[in-house]
């Protein structure tokens, strides 16, 4: 039996944790609540937390009055292609940076971190000009190139840490056991790196899914807009903000992501490489 | 059976760091050869070059009459056991044992028979469905051995495979490896910094230091006739005692004079001449206490049960002595000692090489 002060301290810690959880989830819950409210209830005084008469009208309006499905398709294409592209390059790149004693690999690693630390706004215009020079301005492929440049340094940096945790001997063992270089990588290195790949993929997808600034600057055709700029452009303008529809759109944007996150959580937290080497 | 020949093998890291320098080495068919040396001596690099995990900067490696240093590791028909075992963590024991067979296209039913036979031989049958992280260190070691044995390689390579085990298990595994070598009769190359492993298991030992081969011979010869001062100091516990001195001409021919020991007559010691500085070396078991002209103070007494180690100090010199356990000594006591005259080794001060036969 623990002493009373100990139990009180435990209770206080638990209470504080829940307070934090509440503070973090409140905007999310508010978004959900508002999405289901009728226009009259939006500005009710005192404000309500749970909708009194829940309605799906906001969702119907978003789907009927905006190009939500087009924006969503664009976002999905851009985020998925970028993520796949980034994962392939970052997986091979990070493995090379960790396993091969290349000259200047530490310099490259630091340069990557520096790239990642540069504010997006500082590189926005140069990148835009380069992409325009390639003739890719105002297109999804242009956005994919831009997002790759945005995500790759971060992805490489993250993956490098994961690959550094994989003992090099297991790849050597596979080579000696008769595997080719690529086969050894696929057979024994990739399975160890899987949690890292999933984590990097989730983060890269999130960055692309939520990205606003590049999309705003590079896209000016409504049919190629992504969700953040499309929804903001349609529902938030100088005259009015359609809060109900904004929240409904935001819900439709974030709920699939939350589900994916929940599903992949076990990979993200899974211990990697455990048992490969006796410590 | 496979003979391994290393011909003028060199490995450079960077512009001028030699990991292995001009190594000529012939490992006989069916031999258990140990590469022994301190860390950074080039022994592991040598092993990895035989395995194909490192490229050669220059030189050649041959298996029997076939040059193999250009081949990929998987084409050399070698098996390797790593210090950390390097089991595949996502595969169970069966999957680990099967992996080299799969890569060689062995059909499924044959694989199963071979896995069963290997598991039986190493007594790991009940572990086949477990993952590596569910095994103890000793069990992981057996699985690693099994994965090496299962495809009947021409050459076995071991990279300090016992250093992660506790002392008792290490002794057991040493005996088991010796039995394995006798049973399989394959050429085995074993890397260690542990001279006990080298002495107990090897047919021959190759001592390496700073990328160079210092001596290659049987364990007994390495111990009793070390080729240079490094080998003399590295092999044997406690370390061989060394006393500095110089050769000079005496009444009855050449003698060795030092401040600590009485003058040692060495007439006819080939390669020695008057005026030459040298170290005389002698092992702790060849020192007799309580007699002789040399004197020193007892500074440490270690009773090991079956024997007692005594450390003497005289000025800057330290002399280790192995003696009977019933000896009565006190720390701080002055004691006389003598080194057996027929068990002395002389090493030139200039290059450290052995003087005389």
Residue A23: is it exposed, middle or buried by C-beta count within 10 angstroms (0-12/13-18/19+)?
exposed
Is A180 within 8 Å of B72 when comparing Cβ atoms? Answer: yes
Is B140 within 8 Å of A183 when comparing Cβ atoms? Answer: no
Interface probe for A, chosen from B47, B48, B55, B88 (most Cβ of A below 10 Å), is B88
Phi/psi for B38 (5° steps) reads -70, 170
Comparison of pLDDT for A85 and A243, the residue scoring more: A85
* Mean pLDDT computed over A109-126: 84
CB A208 within 8 A of CB A167: no
Is A273 within 8 Å of B89 when comparing Cβ atoms? Answer: yes
Residue A150 corresponds to which tokens in the numbers above? 């945005």
Nearest-angstrom CA–CA distance, A121 and A213: 8
- What residues of chain A lie within 8 A of the CB of B53, using their CB? 172, 175-176
CA distance B81 to chain A (A): 8
Q: In the predicted model, is pLDDT for residue A165 greater than 50? A: yes
Nearest-angstrom CA–CA distance, A191 and B87: 13
* Mean pLDDT computed over A58-62: 91
Query: Is the full-model pTM beyond 0.90?
Result: no
| B 63-92 residues inside an 8 A Cβ radius of A | 72-74, 78-80, 82-90
Beta bridge partners of B13: B17
- What residues of chain B lie within 8 A of the CB of A179, using their CB? 74, 103
Q: Phi-psi bin for A20: left (phi > 0), alpha (psi -120 to 50), beta?
A: alpha
Beta-carbon contacts of A44 under 8 Å, excluding residues fewer than 6 positions away, are none
**Predicted local distance difference test score (pLDDT) of residue B312:** 95
A189 in contact with B, Cβ within 8 Å: no
Listed as ranges, residues in chain B with pLDDT below 70 are none
Q: Phi-psi bin for A222: left (phi > 0), alpha (psi -120 to 50), beta?
A: alpha
Q: In the predicted model, is pLDDT for residue A279 greater than 50? A: no
Query: Looking at chain A, which residue has its C-alpha nearest residue B130?
Result: A275
For B315-332, letters b (16+ CB in 10 Å) and e give: eebbbbbbbeeeeebeee
**Predicted local distance difference test score (pLDDT) of residue A274:** 38
Nearest-angstrom CA–CA distance, B303 and B326: 9
Nearest-angstrom CA–CA distance, A196 and A269: 9
Nearest-angstrom CA–CA distance, A24 and A16: 12
Phi/psi for A66 (5° steps) reads -120, 170
CB B221 within 8 A of CB B65: no
A271 in contact with B, Cβ within 8 Å: no
CA distance B83 to chain A (A): 9
Query: Looking at chain A, which residue has its C-alpha nearest residue B74?
Result: A178
DSSP, res A87: H
| B 112-171 residues inside an 8 A Cβ radius of A | 131-135, 137, 140, 147, 164
Partner residue opposite A172 with nearest CB, options B86, B89, B137: B86
**Strand B17-27 and strand B4-13: pairing?**
antiparallel
A184, A202, A214, A221: which is closest to A259 by C-alpha?
Answer: A202
B268 in contact with A, Cβ within 8 Å: no
A169 band by pLDDT with thresholds 50, 70 and 90? very high
Residue A259 corresponds to which tokens in the numbers above? 């589900």
CB A36 within 8 A of CB A51: yes
- What residues of chain B lie within 8 A of the CB of A273, using their CB? 89
CA distance B64 to chain A (A): 19
Partner residue opposite B51 with nearest CB, options A167, A176, A273: A176
Q: Phi-psi bin for A195: left (phi > 0), alpha (psi -120 to 50), beta?
A: alpha
B272 in contact with A, Cβ within 8 Å: no
CB B187 within 8 A of CB B31: yes
**Predicted local distance difference test score (pLDDT) of residue A43:** 83
In chain B, % of residues over pLDDT 70: 100
* Mean pLDDT computed over A101-113: 82
Q: In the predicted model, is pLDDT for residue A273 greater than 80? A: no
**Average pLDDT of the residues of chain A:** 87
A1 band by pLDDT with thresholds 50, 70 and 90? low
CB A163 within 8 A of CB A196: yes
Interface probe for A, chosen from B14, B82, B127 (most Cβ of A below 10 Å), is B82
B208, B291, B263, B181: which is closest to B39 by C-alpha?
Answer: B208
- What residues of chain A lie within 8 A of the CB of B52, using their CB? 175-176
For residue B293, give the H/E element and its range: strand B287-303
DSSP, res B70: T
Q: In the predicted model, is pLDDT for residue A256 greater than 80? A: no
Nearest-angstrom CA–CA distance, B145 and B87: 10
A135 in contact with B, Cβ within 8 Å: no
Q: In the predicted model, is pLDDT for residue A111 greater than 70? A: yes
B324 in contact with A, Cβ within 8 Å: no
**Predicted local distance difference test score (pLDDT) of residue A270:** 57
CA distance A156 to chain B (A): 24
Is A178 within 8 Å of B86 when comparing Cβ atoms? Answer: no
Is B84 within 8 Å of A177 when comparing Cβ atoms? Answer: no
What angle do the packed helices A68-99 and A140-164 form, to 10 degrees? 40
A193 in contact with B, Cβ within 8 Å: no
Residue B74 corresponds to which tokens in the numbers above? 């998987």
**Predicted local distance difference test score (pLDDT) of residue A78:** 95
A186 in contact with B, Cβ within 8 Å: no
A-B contacts (CB, under 8 Å): 85
- Comparing A98-102, A127-131, B119-123, the range with the smallest average pLDDT is A98-102
Nearest-angstrom CA–CA distance, B115 and B112: 5
Residue A8: is it exposed, middle or buried by C-beta count within 10 angstroms (0-12/13-18/19+)?
exposed
Is B86 within 8 Å of A191 when comparing Cβ atoms? Answer: no
A268 band by pLDDT with thresholds 50, 70 and 90? low
Beta-carbon contacts of A167 under 8 Å, excluding residues fewer than 6 positions away, are A273, A276, A277, B84, B86
CB B320 within 8 A of CB B311: yes
Nearest-angstrom CA–CA distance, A171 and A185: 7
Question: What's the number of CA atoms in the CB half-sphere (13 Å) around residue B235?
Answer: 32
Query: Looking at chain A, which residue has its C-alpha nearest residue B98?
Result: A177
């Amino acid at each position: 039996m623990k002493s009373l002060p100990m139990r009180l301290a435990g209770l206080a810690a638990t209470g504080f944790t829940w307070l934090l959880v509440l503070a973090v989830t409140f905007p999310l819950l508010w978004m959900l609540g508002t999405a289901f409210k009728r226009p009259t209830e939006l500005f009710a005084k005192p404000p309500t937390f749970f909708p009194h008469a829940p309605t799906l009208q906001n969702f119907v309006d978003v789907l009927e009055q905006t190009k939500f499905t087009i924006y969503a398709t664009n976002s999905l294409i851009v985020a998925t292609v970028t993520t796949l592209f980034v994962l392939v390059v970052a997986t091979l790149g990070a493995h090379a940076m960790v396993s091969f004693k290349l000259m200047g690999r530490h310099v490259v690693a630091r340069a990557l971190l520096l790239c990642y630390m540069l504010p997006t706004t500082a590189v926005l215009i140069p990148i835009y000009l380069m992409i325009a020079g390639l003739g890719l301005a105002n297109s999804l492929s242009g956005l994919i190139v831009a997002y790759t440049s945005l995500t790759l340094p971060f992805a490489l940096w993250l993956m490098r840490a994961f690959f550094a945790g994989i003992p090099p001997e297991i790849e050597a063992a596979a080579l000696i056991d008769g595997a080719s270089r690529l086969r050894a990588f696929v057979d024994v290195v990739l399975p160890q790196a899987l949690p890292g790949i999933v984590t990097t993929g989730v983060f890269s997808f999130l960055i692309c899914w939520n990205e606003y600034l590049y999309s705003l600057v590079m896209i000016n055709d409504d049919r190629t807009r992504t969700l953040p700029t499309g929804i903001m452009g349609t529902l938030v303008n100088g005259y009015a903000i359609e809060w109900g529809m904004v929240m409904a759109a935001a819900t439709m944007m974030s709920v699939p992501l939350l589900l994916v996150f929940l599903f992949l959580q076990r990979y993200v937290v899974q211990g990697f490489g455990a048992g490969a080497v006796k410590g | 059976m496979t003979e391994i020949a290393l011909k003028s093998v060199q490995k450079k890291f960077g512009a001028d760091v030699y990991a292995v320098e001009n190594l000529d080495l012939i490992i006989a068919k069916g031999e258990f050869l140990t590469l022994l040396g301190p860390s950074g001596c080039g022994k592991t690099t040598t092993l990895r070059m035989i395995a194909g995990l490192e490229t050669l900067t220059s030189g050649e490696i041959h298996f029997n009459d076939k040059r193999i240093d250009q081949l990929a590791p998987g084409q050399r028909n070698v098996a390797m056991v790593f210090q950390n075992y390097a089991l595949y963590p996502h595969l169970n024991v069966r999957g680990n044992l099967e992996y080299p067979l799969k890569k060689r296209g062995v059909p499924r039913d044959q694989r199963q028979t071979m896995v069963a036979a290997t598991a039986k031989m190493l007594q790991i049958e009940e572990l086949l469905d477990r993952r590596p992280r569910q095994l103890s260190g000793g069990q992981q070691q057996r699985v690693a051995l099994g994965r090496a044995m299962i495809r009947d390689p021409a050459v076995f390579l071991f990279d300090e495979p016992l250093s992660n085990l506790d002392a008792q298990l290490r002794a057991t595994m040493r005996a088991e490896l010796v039995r394995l070598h006798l049973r399989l009769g394959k050429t085995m190359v074993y890397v260690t910094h542990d001279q006990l492993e080298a002495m107990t298991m090897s047919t021959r030992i190759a001592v390496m230091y700073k990328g160079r081969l210092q001596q290659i011979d049987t364990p007994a010869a390495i111990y009793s006739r070390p080729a240079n001062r490094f080998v003399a100091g590295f092999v044997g516990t406690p370390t061989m005692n060394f006393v500095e001195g110089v050769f000079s001409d005496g009444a009855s021919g050449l003698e060795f004079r030092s401040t600590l020991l009485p003058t040692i007559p060495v007439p006819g010691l080939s390669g020695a001449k008057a005026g030459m500085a040298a170290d005389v070396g002698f092992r702790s078991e060849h020192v007799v206490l309580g007699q002789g002209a040399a004197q020193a103070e007892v500074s440490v007494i270690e009773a090991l049960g079956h024997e007692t180690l005594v450390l003497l100090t005289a000025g800057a010199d330290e002399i280790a002595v192995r003696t009977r356990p019933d000896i009565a000594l006190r720390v701080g006591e002055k004691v006389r000692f003598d080194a057996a005259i027929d068990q002395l080794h002389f090493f030139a001060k200039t290059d450290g090489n052995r003087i005389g036969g």
